Amino acid sequence: MSYAGKNLKYIRKQREWTQEEMANQLQIKRSLVGAYEEERAEPRLEVMESICALFSINLEQFLFQDLSLTGSMDGDGEGSSGNSYLERRRSLKSDKSKSLAPIVPFVPVKAAAGYLAGYADPEFLDELNTFTLPMLAPGDYRAFEIIGDSMLPTPSGSVIVGEKVASFKEVKNSNTYIVVSNSDGVVYKRIITNDDRSKEGNGDRLTLLSDNPLYEPYQVNATDIVEIWKAVYIIHKAGAQPMWNVDQLAGVVNNLQDQITSLKKKLN
């Protein structure tokens, strides 16, 4: 039995590297690191030799010993009996949780693609960076980086700090939320709810609306949504300006005129 995949994941986390950072060290694609760790593929001999050289272990150890049982790897690549990376991360977060300010895990754009699969995985969440905001009341919070102009005047690159919505019924009409769904992944939108909601997920559909009127609203099934976070704070760089241009403003005006014309026709 080969422990190559399990050991690669273990020693990477001991060094506190992401899969991308490990891939850069080995000069291979990040997807290969994931495939090796998930045991969907076996590392080539030259890759294993690079790993052993990088972490100061021999090939026999890497292939046939469970390094998580025989001793953790410290920052210099030498054996140690200390706690594992995940144990140290959890211990650190536990100590921080004793403070008054809630701990906020941060999901950058580069992690958004994996968030849908890992949002409920403690190991995935442990790899996210965290921060605190003293103004937050006690609660369950998460921060998401957003890119694009669909929510202008909120500028691209802003970080939305959201509080977990425990029940679908708690969604307030026209408020802004981070919506995590199987169909769209992570999006930041204004939610328009139906007035006849009776039971959570009972065939209900939500309308997701962009603040930028150039983007058409669309609907998503409530059963397709896995998480909703109510936006409580928006963080962006000082001096960041909404990237409106003349063409966009002209498009907004034309869009509003079309909507007004359509409404007049319906009223008549």
Segments making up each domain of the chain, as ranges: 4-82, 103-255
Contact between residue 114 and residue 133 where contact means Cβ atoms under 8 Å apart:
no
Residue 232 predicted with pLDDT over 60 = yes
pLDDT of residue 151: 94
The residue that leads in pLDDT, 263 or 211, is 211
CATH superfamily, domain 103-255, is: Umud Fragment, subunit A (2.10.109.10)
The 10s digit of each residue's pLDDT in 93-116 is 565 555 567 899 999 998 888 898
**Cα separation of 89 and 130, whole Å?**
11
pLDDT of residue 202: 43
pLDDT of residue 75: 43
End-to-end alpha carbon distance in the chain: 76
Residue 74 predicted with pLDDT over 50 = no
Q: What is the DSSP letter of 76?
A: T
Question: How confident is the model over 224-244, as a mean pLDDT?
Answer: 85
**Cα separation of 44 and 46, whole Å?**
6
The residue that leads in pLDDT, 63 or 74, is 63
* Total-model pTM: 0.58
For domain 4-82, give the CATH number.
Answer: 1.10.260.40
